Amino acid sequence: MGLIMKPVYVINGFLESGKTEFINFTLAQPYFRSKGTTLLLLCEEGEVEYEENLLKATNTVIELIEEEEDFNSSHLVELEKKYKPERIIVEWNGMWNYKNVKFPWYWKVEQQITTVDASTFSMYFSNMRSLLAEQMRGSEMIIFNRCDEKTQDLVSFKRNVKALNPKAEIIFEDENGEVDVMMDEDFPYDLNAPVIEMDDEGYGIWFIDSMDHLDRYVGKTIRFLAQVMHPAKIQKGYFVPGRMVMTCCADDINFLGYACQYDKADQFKEQDWVMVTAKVQKEYFADYGGEGPVLHAISVEPAKAPKEAIISFA
């Protein structure tokens, strides 16, 4: 008889970021309750404790793993044999590097969620950006809690996180529930100009903002300095103009760009610098797996490389 895949739910974040509160809330929801044991792997202990009555009612057992080296496949298999759980929840220690985690091969991560204390995000982002990036990079949902009038710029928080993980759902919450955070700040470009001119800062803001608010740009003409990329599987008559962006540190640089239709796309070589003037449309594009921003070039002209080739979201 073969092994049965074990669903794993990872909740990560730094100490006192709200992980335990989130797990307590989740365990209490009817949609999460089912037959069988839930194994909760606790990698650190914070001020908030798990409610004994809730653990008993949901058939949840806790195992504390205090040392990072003990979070290994052999030890995890031992715990699984001991409790025979139907599912596993991991409350990850934010000071452990998540990229080093190794689950048994038949444990499948169904969902990864990161919790963030909005009042301390700036400090962690400035001083522990690499650890924070590893927590967030694979998360489907990132929850900023404790947002209030003293919290710094939530729009900036959202932009920084989107640069790390463009696909994540980002939620901001105060004591009364979810807070709507729209990117309605003053942009470093004129949204109503006949041609929206973007400098380095503007390009980064436009790229992130267009993920959530593409309708702002549909039908508008933009101009920006970019490098040329020719992805291997992109269809003929298209290329990707974009910029290299440092989202975390010098070792974490990504190319951010959208597909651009241009009948002379082949005349430019990989990494050539160009000045692109294009109209933004919302269209289905196979490489996106759905609809997204597709640029229709009006002109693509050779250009000089900028003084700083890499854009930083710091």
User: DSSP for the chain?
Assistant: -PPPPEEEEEEE-STTSSHHHHHHHHHTSGGG--SS-EEEEES---SS---HHHHHHTTEEEEE--SGGG-SHHHHHHHHHHH--SEEEEE--TTS-GGG----TTEEEEEEEEEEETTTHHHHHHHSHHHHHHHHHT-SEEEEES--TTS--HHHHHHHHHHH-TT-EEEEEETTEEE-----SPPSS-TTSSSEE--HHHHHHHHHHHHH-GGGTTT-EEEEEEEEE--TTPPTTEEEEEEEEESSSTT-EEEEE--EE-TTGGGS-TT-EEEEEEEEEEEEEGGGTEEEEEEEEEEEEE-PPPS--EEE--
Q: Are residues 91 and 210 in the same domain?
A: no
| Average pLDDT score, the chain | 88
Which of 129, 149, 179 is at the close of a domain? 179
- Within-domain flag for 188: no
Residue 3: per-residue pLDDT = 64
Spatial contact of 286 and 278, defined as CB atoms under 8 Å apart: no
Domain boundary among 127, 150, 179: 179
Report, in angstroms and rounded to the nearest whole number, the Rg of the chain calculated over CA atoms.
23
pLDDT tens-digit map of 82-128? 999 999 999 999 999 888 888 999 999 999 999 999 989 989 888 88
Note the pLDDT of residue 204: 86
Assigned domain for 184 exists: no
* Per-residue model confidence (pLDDT) at position 147: 87
Residues 121 and 207 in one domain: no
Same domain, 201 and 173: no
Q: What are the φ and ψ backbone dihedral angles of 289, each rounded to 5 degrees? A: 75, 20
Whether pTM > 0.75 for this model: the answer is no
- 163 and 205 housed in the same domain: no
CA distance 18 to 24: 10
Same domain, 236 and 272: yes
Domain boundary pick from 154, 179, 204? 179
Is residue 33 located within the same domain as residue 172?
A: yes
pLDDT at residue 100 in the model? 85
Answer whether residue 189 is part of any domain: no
Residue 125 in domain? yes
Phi, psi of 88, deg, nearest 5: -130, 135
Domain residues for the domain of 111 are 6-179
Task: Assess whether 26 and 140 both reside in one domain.
Answer: yes
Same-domain check for residues 63 and 171: yes
| pLDDT score at 65 | 95
Q: Does 124 reside within a domain?
A: yes
**Residue 19 and residue 115 in contact, taking contact as beta carbons nearer than 8 Å:** yes
Q: Is residue 187 part of a domain?
A: no
Give the Å distances, CA to CA, from 161 to 74, 76, 123, 156: 34, 31, 14, 9
For residues 238 and 284, state if they share a domain. Answer: yes
**Count of structural domains within the chain:** 2
For residue 98, give the CATH number of its domain: 3.40.50.300
pLDDT of residue 185: 56
Q: What CATH number corresponds to the domain at position 284?
A: 2.40.50.140
Same domain membership, residue 258 and residue 162: no
What is the pLDDT, as a whole number, of residue 1? 45
Residues 54 and 170 in one domain: yes
Give a yes or no: residue 49 inside a domain. yes
Same domain, 128 and 238: no
What is the structure's pLDDT at 83? 95
Q: Which residues of the chain have pLDDT under 70?
A: 1-3, 149-152, 180-186, 247-252, 313-314
Residue 134 lies in a domain: yes
